Amino acid sequence: MGQAPIQLGRNGCESCAIRNRAVCGALDDAELRELGRIGRFRHYKAGDVILADQEPTTFFANVVSGVIKLEKMSSDGRQQIVGLLFPPDFLGRAYSRTNPYFAQAATDVEICAYPHSQFEQLLRKNPELEHRLFEDTLSELDAAREWMFVLGRKSAQEKVASFLHLIAKRQPMIGCSHIHQPGPARFELPLTRSDIADFLGLTIETVSRQLSKLKRQGTIQIVGGREVTVPDLRELGLTAGGENEAVA
Amino acid sequence: MGQAPIQLGRNGCESCAIRNRAVCGALDDAELRELGRIGRFRHYKAGDVILADQEPTTFFANVVSGVIKLEKMSSDGRQQIVGLLFPPDFLGRAYSRTNPYFAQAATDVEICAYPHSQFEQLLRKNPELEHRLFEDTLSELDAAREWMFVLGRKSAQEKVASFLHLIAKRQPMIGCSHIHQPGPARFELPLTRSDIADFLGLTIETVSRQLSKLKRQGTIQIVGGREVTVPDLRELGLTAGGENEAVA
DNA sequence: CGACATGTTGAACCTCATCAACCGACGTGG
DNA sequence: CCACGTCGGTTGATGAGGTTCAACATGTCG
């Protein structure tokens, strides 16, 4: 739970791992150079706080590697993860003086950070960039609402299966194939049991029990607590229930 | 549960009830005339479906009066309200071929509707309009995440109190004062018990019991099942718990 | 008036939270 | 080196909060 961002030098966008997939994909070469001039790589270790709730906005960023959790917490200690960011997602709440939630590194994380005011200036004078960010925000809103259904209406078993299904879709595979058709999948869980519980509105005990149950049923295998194999994604999808699964 | 939109003639934006508060507030007079040319008033009765899930997008709209619920449903009949629209909110998912959820009139509703392609054209060539819509979307995302905390982490009692608090903040008062400082409030519930349950991830019985409990505790009064008086909003806020209440 | 929709209340049941014990891995200091 | 504490995770026993099923009240409309 430290707070030790490691600041690195300027980055070369041309060779960036997420070039064309992140918001910067909206930019032509000249504009990209400008964004590259203001962008800085930063590293965080799992558990580091990246943005604190209610604090003034100081920067935005793109996730380059790792997973970031967005978290709401109440004074009495309850917490709820309200979003997960994977590469090449965008981090930060545009046009707000303060940050509406905590952003914390779930795994070790690399981001490409842009100073607040410089980025918003770029946004103002570049409608294509703003358009791209707008589309990203719309997708996030869709995802948030999808998750509201999970939180409000699904059983513990379905919640855990839904979570695994989500990770299977977004997390880079351990093996190699990056196409996820119905069929087998293999991935590493980027979250602890405690994080999973906070994401699903459950307790760690319930999460643990449901994972064990899914193992017993043969829907998944787990080794070392974190590495998950799903023999048949379709079956996992079925136990996830609900089926608003028209996610494209 | 019918589907009978009543189509009305063209509207005069100058005298519109929500002019300057809706997205159209981003437009200068000339552009407003253009939007006025494509906008049409429509009326719906409580229960009417306004947009159907998975259907091709045919129009966008601003809510002029009434309340619209955005709803997700699964094949087995479970449903979850994922958003409520009050005047002057914007209805519709920009840049998507299809609609990601049901939009249904919770009360009688008036909207100002813009045909799909004409509106998106206007959006493309008018960055100010898109910017305005972007800001609205960011607020919706904030609200959705706020609600994820409610769904995932609050007790039934807190959920119901949170709902009442939300309505108190957004619903026009029955009396006259439209300022809501800590103090008394009076409003009409725009949702049935069943809708409230679907918004909170509860059953109607639980909602009814919690409302009765709040009455017994003196936190609220209810007459005719729909008209609510809150002697002290601060107290309601306290029983709503959580306190991410930095809503500005 | 009867039929139907909306809402309230009671009783029984069940899912999930709570409390607690335990395990293995890891890191630290004596 | 091993004892120790800590952390993440699993499993069991128990009980509370909400769901489910059911009966009843109220209001509205033909």
- Are the beta carbons of B74 and A244 separated by less than 8 Å? yes
Name which of A201, A199, A183 is nearest A191 in CA terms. Answer: A199
Å between CA of B170 and C1' of D14? 43
Q: Which of B74, B137, B201 sits opposite A243 (nearest CB)?
A: B74
How does A160-171 read in b/e, with b if 16+ C-beta sit within 10 Å?
A: bbbbbbbbbebb
Q: Which amino acid is at A12?
A: G
Q: How are strands ordered across the β-sheet holding A6-10?
A: A6-10, A40-44, A109-115, A59-65, A90-91
* CB under 7 Å from strand D: A 192-194, 204-205, 207-209, 211-212, 222, 225-226; B 155-157, 201-203, 205-206, 209
Cβ atoms of A62 and A91 closer than 8 Å = yes
Q: Which domains does chain A have, with CATH numbers?
A: 6-147 (2.60.120.10), 154-240 (1.10.10.10)
> Does A8 contact B at CB distance below 8 Å?
no
Name which of A92, A32, A37 is nearest A60 in CA terms. Answer: A92
Q: Which amino acid is at A54?
A: Q
Each residue's pLDDT tens digit in chain B (248 positions)? 444 555 554 557 777 888 878 888 777 777 788 888 899 999 999 999 999 999 999 999 999 999 999 999 999 999 999 999 999 999 999 999 999 999 999 999 999 999 999 999 999 988 989 999 999 999 999 999 999 999 999 999 999 999 999 999 998 656 545 555 667 999 999 999 999 999 999 999 999 999 999 999 999 999 988 999 999 999 999 999 966 544 33
Q: What is the tens place of the pLDDT at every residue in A6-65?
A: 555 455 777 788 877 888 777 777 778 888 889 999 999 999 999 999 999 999 999 999
- Are the beta carbons of A78 and B135 separated by less than 8 Å? no
Strand C nucleotides, any atom under 7 Å to a protein CB:
6-11, 15-20
